[in-house]
Structure 1
Amino acid sequence: MSTAHESSLTEGGLVRPMVRLAWPMVVIQLLQVAYNVADTAFLGAVSADAVGALSLAFPLIFFLISVGGGFTAAGAILVAQYTGAESGRSADVIAGQTLAFVTLLACVLAVLGHFSTDWLLSLFPAGAGTEARIVPLAADYMRIYFLGLPFLFGFFIFVSIMRGYGNTRTPMRVMVVSVAINVALDPLLIFGLGPIPRLGIEGAAIATIAARAVATGLGLYILFYTNAGPDIQPPDLVPRFDHVRDIVTLGTPSAIEQSSSSLAFVVLTGMVVAFPPEIIAAYGLGNRLISLVFLPAMGLSQALDTVVGQNLGADRPDRAARASKLAMGLVLVVMAVLTLVAYLFPEPIVGIFLTADTPGATETIAYGVEYLQIAAFMFVFLGVLQVLLGTFRGAGNTKTAMVFSLITLWAVRVPLTYYLVFVAGWAETGIWVAVVMGDVVGCVAALAWWARGTWKERYVEVERDPSVATTSED
């Protein structure tokens, strides 16, 4: 472990170290969505139904993933605050505890997800066309994907621990390798080649899981056999009640936030399946494109929770607040540019992801264009909201972040979608408009709370050890 922090998050200038931490997280998030984009692009060359199957599958998959995701976020928060407080091996121990706890949880969720796939899909009131053409494909994808959850979570844990420690470049490099493997395997397994059979949508799931397995293996090697991150020792994996309690205390609101958000998308998808397959596919395409816009903001948000966490751990609340303001300004500029691009050039953007000349493709693109142009008006609000949520999480205020996420989806988007679609008669346009209004209201409410300044208190209480330096960004 280095004796000096090459780019300290708690001392000196703030812009450069924050950017050094943030840009690899933005790249990681863009690479993260590359998994889904690759699947969508290759499956779009198979059929619009295959793309529609992903639209049904991902809200259900994300629901189970989000349960464990909250606890990986808790690990990142605790590692960041202990690192900022220079608290001896506390950051190392909490990293090991997070790894053990979430891995066990991932194994349980994998079994539950695999055997409940048919039941989960039966919750959707699908029309006859969707039931016959799309649901069976979604089931094939989900069963395989769920079995790979331990590998999926393994990489998420690695990224969270390293982020809290202050090293985001190493996870970025691992992510590059993983995405390259996924992109190489996708066409081989989806379309087949030589002795490799044509597996279609199942091939996309296998490719993603295989790539995640490689990423997890590399991440574990780095955590246990290098000095790039926390110094995890085998005894650190043995559960300790006080540390598990902290992980559960901080992680439960985040798990509720993420799982309730994914449940909201399940409910929203349940409304969407009442429409023809072309609108379902357009909804999935539009959400994938919005995820491309969302993930850079999420990357900055995740970097910010480390900056805020380390500075509050070091008793520097004013510096934490300044970092939050800088992040909001940066994301506002980036999102404004993306808004213009999406609004002015929607058709070529949507068309990239649906190239198969199959029935319904033209209608799907037309609906997707309408969705993207309307959704563009929320990009700035979406970005600022994610920065605010990252600020709250970094401070350990995971309950506050949970509340504003619930407001965005459950208090605004879900009921407004129902009203506009089924009461006001706006049809699919009501879906698109409700997406925008949810983020606008959530952003305004969170900004008002942030301005109160009551979030500027750290979660951990430790004795600072001046002989232990903070981490080094390799």
Structure 2
Amino acid sequence: MTELRRQIVRLTVPMMAARLLAILVPILIIGMLGWMDGEALQIRSLYMPMAFLFFALQAIFDVATQTIMALRSGRGEHDAGPTLASMALVWLVGGLVFAGALSAGAPALAEVLGAPPESADHFAWFLRWMAFANMTLAGPVLCAAALRGTGRAGTAALIVLVGSVLEVAGLAVLGFGADMGTAALPLATVLNGLVGGALGIVLVSRAGLLGGWGWQREVLRYLPQTGLPVCMSSLVMFGMNLAFVRMLSPFGPTVIAGFATAATVQNLLVMPALTLGSASAIVMNQRLGADRPQLAPVLRTALRITVAVYAVITPVVWLSRGLIGSVTAENGRIAEETARYFAIVAPSYLALALVLAVMMALQQVGGVRMALSATVLYVVLTVAVGAWASQGADGPVPLYSVMSAMNVGGLLAVAGALAFVRRQDRRRLDRPAAQRVRA
């Protein structure tokens, strides 16, 4: 195994564990809310899109912190204090503004989301408290990102693990044991934030990264330059799934339920690709910081690993599509619809994985414009062609076929990304050394 491959794999494995928790814990929490009472079930349905929004906003700070620390680590600058303090300040100010706006608009938002009159006030109250509770997650999110950026992905995953366990346990004890219902979730979130943040500071300090304090101006550059594009890509993909649900609505609730189940499973299946892309971005930014401007070898190595992983995942998912359907849905018809989705779309997962890995990497190493343009083009074409193909259809097969074809077509973006990275490598080599590092 080459050194580059070892570096990427060492980062990817613990990052995958942390990302798996980041996906599964919200699903578990949403499920626990539904077990509490009838009103909690209503709150759960209304809160799901807002939970995605909170997660997307956290990703802005997560990715930007990881990028800055990877660059600084490559330069031999291991003091995370200025980065953490500056990011925390922006998080606090931005969080207060966002939470205040959300609090003021909570009643109107409840109406927009279709909250029943009897649940509207409760949902508005719940949303206000969740907005402020999510502000406390700055500690664990920023500390974990800083540790990942310096190559300590295993230590970062420990913060995520401890915080996730505390949040789920807190919700169980307060929500069921103390019979607090939905009021338990803001408190459990605060518990995650405070304890996870304290643990994060301890682990960052033990790693020798807590030296130095003060304002770091580059956070204001990297938040919109790397963090925001990742958030925007997530929101665009979320919007695409909403469009798919709308296209599938004429075929009935069973088809929609089957698609929703398959989409949830697919989020887990694409996780290795996204993680490989993010891990390769860390290695690339460390190389940039160390004035080693050739990034194409790193990206090629990450894509080779992606091919090896999905050469296994793709046929396994396709062959076990019936089993996946029956395990994830008790209703036989929904299970069949879930299996039908995988029968058509799963063969394209190898291509989709390569696209996701390369786009995730590009967004963090200076290829934001290309990555966002490719993502938007993919979404627009898939939705437009899918809508056209679905006209007059008696089922979801035409739409699913378009999805699969567009995934394969995304390989053009992979080729374009590799050419872009090679071109950027040549440009950096032509510059004086002092101008190569971006931060």
Per the TM alignment, residue 170 of structure 1 is displaced from its structure 2 partner at its CA by 0.9
1:222 pairs, out of 203, 218, 226, with 203
User: In structure 1, how many angstroms separate the alpha carbons of the residues matched to 2:167 and 2:374?
Assistant: 35
Q: Percent identity?
A: 20
**CA deviation profile, 1:289-345 (whole Å, cap 9, x unmatched):** 111112222222211111011112223233x32221121111122223222222222
* Residue identity matched to 1:413: T
- Report the 3-state secondary structure (helix = DSSP H, G, I; strand = E; otherwise coil) of the residue aligned with 1:396: coil
How does 1:27-106 map onto structure 2 within 5 Å? 27-39=17-29, 57-63=47-53, 65-87=55-77, 92-106=81-95
Pairing 1:396–2:386 present = no
CA contact (8 A) 1:18 1:304 kept: yes
Aligned to 2:382: 413
User: In structure 2, how many angstroms separate the alpha carbons of the residues matched to 1:215 and 1:310?
Assistant: 26
Pairing 1:308–2:308 present = no
Aligned to 1:444: 412
- Report the 3-state secondary structure (helix = DSSP H, G, I; strand = E; otherwise coil) of the residue aligned with 1:25: helix
Aligned to 2:13: 23
CA contact (8 A) 1:350 1:368 kept: yes
1:337 pairs, out of 307, 312, 322, with 312
CA contact (8 A) 1:174 1:215 kept: yes
Higher relative contact order (CA 8 A, sep 6+): 1
* Residue identity matched to 1:35: V
Aligned to 1:298: 274
2:236 pairs, out of 253, 260, 268, with 260
* Residue identity matched to 2:410: G
User: In structure 2, how many angstroms separate the alpha carbons of the residues matched to 1:151 and 1:289?
Assistant: 29
How does 1:181-330 map onto structure 2 within 5 Å? 181-185=166-170, 192-193=176-177, 195-196=178-179, 199=181, 210-211=191-192, 213-223=194-204, 226-228=205-207, 230-231=209-210, 233=212, 235-236=213-214, 238=215, 240-241=216-217, 243-271=219-247, 276-318=252-294, 320-330=295-305
Which consecutive unaligned segments of at least 5 residues does structure 2 have?
none
Residue 29 to residue 243, structure 1, CA distance change in 2 (3 Å): closer
CA contact (8 A) 2:171 2:188 kept: yes
CA contact (8 A) 1:83 1:165 kept: yes
Residue 174 to residue 267, structure 1, CA distance change in 2 (3 Å): same
1:170 pairs, out of 140, 155, 161, with 155
Taking only aligned residues, the RMSD between alpha carbons, in angstroms, comes to: 4.1
User: In structure 1, how many angstroms separate the alpha carbons of the residues matched to 2:432 and 2:110?
Assistant: 45
* Residue identity matched to 1:24: P
**CA deviation profile, 1:383-416 (whole Å, cap 9, x unmatched):** 212221233234232222222222222x223323
**CA deviation profile, 1:113-161 (whole Å, cap 9, x unmatched):** 455456557657x8xxx98999999989866654432244543333322
* Residue identity matched to 1:446: V
User: In structure 2, how many angstroms separate the alpha carbons of the residues matched to 1:50 and 1:369?
Assistant: 31
**CA deviation profile, 1:170-208 (whole Å, cap 9, x unmatched):** 111122223333454565567x35x536x4x77678656
**CA deviation profile, 1:44-64 (whole Å, cap 9, x unmatched):** 8799x9999867754443245
User: In structure 1, how many angstroms separate the alpha carbons of the residues matched to 2:82 and 2:407?
Assistant: 37
- Report the 3-state secondary structure (helix = DSSP H, G, I; strand = E; otherwise coil) of the residue aligned with 1:86: coil
Per the TM alignment, residue 369 of structure 1 is displaced from its structure 2 partner at its CA by 2.5
How does 1:425-444 map onto structure 2 within 5 Å? 425=393, 427-444=395-412
**CA deviation profile, 1:436-458 (whole Å, cap 9, x unmatched):** 34433334323323234124367
User: In structure 1, how many angstroms separate the alpha carbons of the residues matched to 2:284 and 2:372?
Assistant: 18
User: In structure 2, how many angstroms separate the alpha carbons of the residues matched to 1:294 and 1:140?
Assistant: 35
Structure with greater proportional helix content? 2
Residue 395 to residue 333, structure 1, CA distance change in 2 (3 Å): same
Pairing 1:367–2:356 present = no
Aligned to 1:6: none
Query: Normalising by the residue count of structure 1, what TM-score does the alignment of the two structures yield?
Result: 0.74
User: In structure 2, how many angstroms separate the alpha carbons of the residues matched to 1:142 and 1:270?
Assistant: 26
CA contact (8 A) 1:324 1:388 kept: yes
1:381 pairs, out of 332, 351, 362, with 351
CA contact (8 A) 2:226 2:364 kept: no
More displaced stretch, 304-313 vs 294-303: 294-303
* Residue identity matched to 1:155: P
Residue 379 to residue 209, structure 1, CA distance change in 2 (3 Å): farther
**CA deviation profile, 1:264-303 (whole Å, cap 9, x unmatched):** 4444455556664444433332222111112222222211
Residue 268 to residue 380, structure 1, CA distance change in 2 (3 Å): same
User: In structure 2, how many angstroms separate the alpha carbons of the residues matched to 1:247 and 1:429?
Assistant: 40
